[in-house]
Structure 1
Amino acid sequence: MSDPSDGDDPTVPPAGTGACHEPGDSPDDCPVCGDGYHSVTDHTGGLMVNLEPNERFDRVCFQPVGGGDEPKIRFFHH
């Protein structure tokens, strides 16, 4: 997968914001629903979720993930 902060994906904040990154340990299928997904990102800062229908993704599953001193939430974009 490409670096999600390279500017090609408008759903990902620009590099250096520290709010989002693509994890290196992402599973083959979404652990929330069991389906395949388009991309996955971890979010450690504030985030906003658009609940309006859009042309980019059909849905996004959310998974809280632990690790270290910083809580994260993982987005699986379908």
Structure 2
Amino acid sequence: MVEVLGALGHVYPYHQAIGYYLTKAGLPPVMLNALLDIGSTYDFYICHRIEDPVYDSTWRLHVPRALADSE
């Protein structure tokens, strides 16, 4: 997945969103190291018009509170 993301060369940090979703899905942190190793220069919103956002410092994302609170 990391190779594909690199080959696509998107400006948007999709690896941060993907990493966040995989974390929420329950993947062990060791399986997410390749995505974390890409690095994060900026904080981003996972989607537009989020009401009551919550910040996830690991992935540097602002996410809806309902998503952050879900198990």
Q: Same fold (TM over 0.5)?
A: no
Whose strand fraction is larger, Structure 1's or Structure 2's?
A: 1
Whose helix fraction is larger, Structure 1's or Structure 2's?
A: 2
When normalised by structure 1's length, the TM-score is: 0.29
